[in-house]
Structure 1
């Protein structure tokens, strides 16, 4: 008879795996050295079953493609590493992400895999940070490592490690971060073996199957309820590719065929000459759709790979989402996050009450490199955040990451380890789109550099603003400015630039985009608008013009004047639009 698992045992195993996944995070951040992983948590762990299907984690789908390359030659004590997107079918999407995978054995029987990938601050290439804004091919973006054993049956392959570290400007950080990823995988291996010891191996593996099946059945309900047989289509844009080309169109159509949800990217622009292409694995594409549907429509569902056979994905070859080798990929996060915006826009047409607006739309980064007074090389890399969209449950988050577990680098850390002073860090007034639920605000961060060096910047949403939904307004765009020492007037610099020469005392003003609002701003409680004005998130002019709220001298709502103003604005405007874009593509003008 097949092994049976009672509901209580299943619940215990599920939560034990969730805890193990978070323990992986804890181990990694305690061992790593780079600010990107140690402070900002740019690493993504998962635990899979023996077939490589993710049971818990954030990313999945890539294990079977790696295992296939080794034709079953997978042994206890092996640890695999890779970073080349083209050599792993897009399981990771640019060279900076080093991915580690190890098989988990219980009494010589394979019961699963643990895996983590994390962002290395430098992997070689033409510019510090390895994400050149003007790359034409992946050859310019640093060392490419195909899937190889970094540990062979428990023995370190020093040659592989030496090659990887020899091609980085930050070998000490990379070594520590790589070993942190490996330690995280080993932690998961210990916890899975403990579960097999406690409940029995057959019970554990059956429980994994049951967790996958449960998610699949829940996803069938969501597909039937929220995806129609009639296609819905949505289009959004990436500003540019760093080489002066763009904006680039991304078009998504979603429909249902029986129990199968089809996600079709036909109509998306051809691959870019510059490095914004997103070489996405089909399984990862399914995962991104699945996690959005779960988070938007039923967060109680366990996020795993059980629903994959219910999804069909169309990724046109040679497009922005399926580029041909050797297309440049290093700054693909502009396209990656616009992927999420297109999901929200398409799914929101069938269930607008559960969808959200568009967000700041990339992963902005600031890199400062040079040599200090002692001649020692330094390389600061920081990921910045922006406005997270207005949503059904409330306002968007101000200056927050797209990725839930990311956090800002503490200013004390930056100033202690790098020749930089952070002179300002605050939300940008009026950058959150007006709405019943206001869009999250972008942030302004002011860096004053204390040594001569070079700055690289990468951002988006400077041209195409984040759209609003259900009557909400679009949010504010990004901008970057340089103030030379001794000058007062800032000079605008591009949103994508490498090796900008700076001198001690110069300032960089880094302003990220906000996000779109959700719902009719004329329905927002006047006291909430007044509070936002007092908090300097909204100006008095915006309160009157976008929200129809009239304020007293001490920034309290004038109830009678507000009601009168809003009535007039409603009559003049009519019914609010379902989307507020703030951008008209050139071809349509």
Structure 2
């Protein structure tokens, strides 16, 4: 009862945030995480948004406890922090946490982390994909008390709003995060009223212990041994001719899982670095996914994992390494762990999905018209499963339950028209089970002087299929496709503009990787793809080496 009550409280925190946030990146894309911890900063419950955020917030709170001491908090405090080496992501993801007091004693924390509409970096929107120093990326907060004892720090509040390009959006989202934390505080206090603070704490600690034992039992089902995987980023956004290596060794020792990133490159000049806090969080997320996906997550699930890396590598970045584009490494951390463990438990491990594709469309100079900033990740193809085709038109793995921004929202808020939104039915990622399809999204500019920034990855070092499946595809960005003015933006980071009224932007995201050999694909599945216009008839015969008459008969049976 107590465990489920904290889960319900976290869900209500999430609902409060969605219903009160100003930015579509929060209320539509759900680029946030909400958690509740005990007074030690140990995870007791979480919402259902970005998995990486959820596992990063407890160590963020623990850093605050270490800084302030257990007696350094007061009722009504609200603390703000976005230092990436504490939060595990980048400074645009600003964490806010609030202590919970019962009978004048600290008993818990509630917390939210969400991407701000702007953070004062050198480019608009809290996205600076060519930085070489964390200070270029914007304002850094390090456990600053926005409220102390329930009293607003007006100087800090004014400082924030004067140093961001979208003060109304930032302030609206900030207040939404506060409301979400207050919702969690209220629900936790109701639990204490009903059962007592001592019983609530003891019960939740026992839940953690039980979860730890179940996780250890799951790991015992893995064969002992060391499993290796490695891959590369195309580049770091600055040194365009230098790929960046990420390497992992996963060792199963009875009921312990040791994850070592020692073979990875040092921290990069460009902003693709990933802090160690986030790396540990993602390791826990992957293990939870592969073993106990339906079990409500708490601190106990993470205890049997030992995650190590040398200091200041691409997966253990330290100050002042830039971390703005950490998300591309985050995706590879997830997929590399799954790839390594596919040697041990192949029946649990899907192929790699498409790599993250991010896009910003903006006009920030008021001389050229009303300013606006639209930013969203674009969905693509998921990796095939050992038992089924991959999902199509889904967000990359690290974004969890995040949806896209609906066409209606984009067209009602910005001078943009979506003229095409369809599956990208290219033929990468074939196999016994095919990877999911990416998407094609076409934007028409309705006004002049609009600028574009896109970022993608792994177009040279493609992500992979498993057990003989085909590799994932690549993503493309095209200006004015099909006209004499067509331009392909092939760089990992592309800035383009101005786009004038009537010009178009087309984004094509990759398919996921396949699972199993294509020769094993059921002909009825091939026929279904042909009938649904995902696959050309003649192309199907060529790719799968099947008889024309057999395919016709299978289509007729559909």
TM-score (norm 1): 0.87
**Of residues 98, 112, 123 in structure 2, which corresponds to 1:116?**
112
1:482 equivalent to 2:479? Answer: yes
SS at match of 2:554: coil
CA drift at 1:109: 2.2
- Residue 421 of structure 1 corresponds to 417
* Deviates most, 430-439 or 272-281: 430-439
Change in 2 beyond 3 A, CA 1:182/1:547: farther
Tell me how far apart the structure 1 counterparts of residues 508 and 320 of structure 2 sit (CA, whole Å).
Answer: 32
SS at match of 1:174: helix
* Deviates most, 488-497 or 196-205: 488-497
- Residue 341 of structure 2 corresponds to 347
Tell me how far apart the structure 2 counterparts of residues 289 and 456 of structure 1 sit (CA, whole Å).
Answer: 30
- Residue 24 of structure 1 corresponds to 13
- Residue 67 of structure 2 corresponds to 69
Change in 2 beyond 3 A, CA 1:247/1:545: farther
- Residue 50 of structure 1 corresponds to 39
The one-character-per-residue Cα deviations of 1:223-255 (angstroms, maximum 9, x if unpaired) are 222252x21110122122112143211110011
Tell me how far apart the structure 2 counterparts of residues 479 and 501 of structure 1 sit (CA, whole Å).
Answer: 19
CA drift at 1:330: 0.5
CA drift at 1:377: 1.4
Change in 2 beyond 3 A, CA 1:136/1:514: same
1:457 equivalent to 2:454? Answer: yes
SS at match of 1:44: strand
Tell me how far apart the structure 2 counterparts of residues 339 and 477 of structure 1 sit (CA, whole Å).
Answer: 19
CA drift at 1:555: 6.0
SS at match of 2:348: coil
Contact preservation (8 Å) 2:248, 2:262: yes
1:540 equivalent to 2:537? Answer: yes
CA drift at 1:169: 1.0
Contact preservation (8 Å) 1:33, 1:176: yes
Tell me how far apart the structure 2 counterparts of residues 164 and 404 of structure 1 sit (CA, whole Å).
Answer: 29
Tell me how far apart the structure 2 counterparts of residues 255 and 322 of structure 1 sit (CA, whole Å).
Answer: 19
- Residue 332 of structure 2 corresponds to 338
Change in 2 beyond 3 A, CA 1:112/1:548: farther
- Residue 51 of structure 2 corresponds to none
- Residue 388 of structure 2 corresponds to 394
- Residue 164 of structure 2 corresponds to 168
- Residue 312 of structure 2 corresponds to 318
Contact preservation (8 Å) 1:280, 1:322: yes
Tell me how far apart the structure 2 counterparts of residues 431 and 101 of structure 1 sit (CA, whole Å).
Answer: 46
CA drift at 1:77: 0.6
- Residue 136 of structure 2 corresponds to 140
**Of residues 240, 249, 256 in structure 2, which corresponds to 1:253?**
249
Change in 2 beyond 3 A, CA 1:290/1:485: closer
Tell me how far apart the structure 1 counterparts of residues 5 and 311 of structure 2 sit (CA, whole Å).
Answer: 41
- Residue 41 of structure 1 corresponds to 30
Change in 2 beyond 3 A, CA 1:549/1:36: farther
* Deviates most, 536-545 or 521-530: 536-545
**Of residues 195, 206, 212 in structure 2, which corresponds to 1:199?**
195
Structure 1 gap ranges (5+): 1-11, 561-589
- Residue 287 of structure 1 corresponds to 281
Tell me how far apart the structure 2 counterparts of residues 126 and 219 of structure 1 sit (CA, whole Å).
Answer: 44
Tell me how far apart the structure 1 counterparts of residues 553 and 267 of structure 2 sit (CA, whole Å).
Answer: 51
* Deviates most, 67-76 or 294-303: 294-303
Tell me how far apart the structure 1 counterparts of residues 302 and 75 of structure 2 sit (CA, whole Å).
Answer: 28
CA drift at 1:33: 1.0
CA drift at 1:42: 0.6
Contact preservation (8 Å) 2:360, 2:373: no
Tell me how far apart the structure 2 counterparts of residues 312 and 219 of structure 1 sit (CA, whole Å).
Answer: 13
- Residue 153 of structure 1 corresponds to 149
Contact preservation (8 Å) 1:357, 1:517: yes
CA drift at 1:363: 4.8
- Residue 91 of structure 2 corresponds to 95
- Residue 582 of structure 1 corresponds to none
Tell me how far apart the structure 2 counterparts of residues 333 and 397 of structure 1 sit (CA, whole Å).
Answer: 21
CA drift at 1:392: 2.9
- Taking the TM superposition and a 5 Å limit, the aligned residue runs for 1:545-560 are 545-550=542-547, 557=554
Contact preservation (8 Å) 1:432, 1:442: no
CA drift at 1:382: 1.6
* Deviates most, 362-371 or 318-327: 362-371
1:381 equivalent to 2:375? Answer: yes
- Residue 129 of structure 1 corresponds to 125
Tell me how far apart the structure 2 counterparts of residues 111 and 325 of structure 1 sit (CA, whole Å).
Answer: 32
Change in 2 beyond 3 A, CA 1:258/1:438: closer
Tell me how far apart the structure 1 counterparts of residues 138 and 553 of structure 2 sit (CA, whole Å).
Answer: 55
CA drift at 1:515: 1.0
Tell me how far apart the structure 1 counterparts of residues 526 and 533 of structure 2 sit (CA, whole Å).
Answer: 11
CA drift at 1:493: 4.1
CA drift at 1:489: 3.6
Change in 2 beyond 3 A, CA 1:227/1:286: farther
SS at match of 1:67: helix
The one-character-per-residue Cα deviations of 1:95-121 (angstroms, maximum 9, x if unpaired) are 111100011122222221111100112
Structure 2 gap ranges (5+): 47-53
* Deviates most, 500-509 or 185-194: 500-509
Contact preservation (8 Å) 2:432, 2:521: yes
CA drift at 1:207: 1.5
Tell me how far apart the structure 2 counterparts of residues 180 and 30 of structure 1 sit (CA, whole Å).
Answer: 8
The one-character-per-residue Cα deviations of 1:537-574 (angstroms, maximum 9, x if unpaired) are 333344223333445699653799xxxxxxxxxxxxxx
CA drift at 1:431: 5.0
Contact preservation (8 Å) 2:258, 2:307: yes
Tell me how far apart the structure 2 counterparts of residues 498 and 232 of structure 1 sit (CA, whole Å).
Answer: 40
Change in 2 beyond 3 A, CA 1:191/1:547: farther
- Residue 466 of structure 2 corresponds to 469
Tell me how far apart the structure 1 counterparts of residues 372 and 365 of structure 2 sit (CA, whole Å).
Answer: 6
Tell me how far apart the structure 1 counterparts of residues 488 and 283 of structure 2 sit (CA, whole Å).
Answer: 40
1:523 equivalent to 2:523? Answer: no
- Residue 50 of structure 2 corresponds to none
Contact preservation (8 Å) 2:219, 2:254: no
Tell me how far apart the structure 2 counterparts of residues 202 and 442 of structure 1 sit (CA, whole Å).
Answer: 50
TM-score (norm 2): 0.92
Aligned positions, number: 543
Tell me how far apart the structure 2 counterparts of residues 356 and 485 of structure 1 sit (CA, whole Å).
Answer: 36
* Deviates most, 331-340 or 551-560: 551-560
C-alpha RMSD of matched pairs (Å) = 2.3
- Residue 277 of structure 1 corresponds to 273
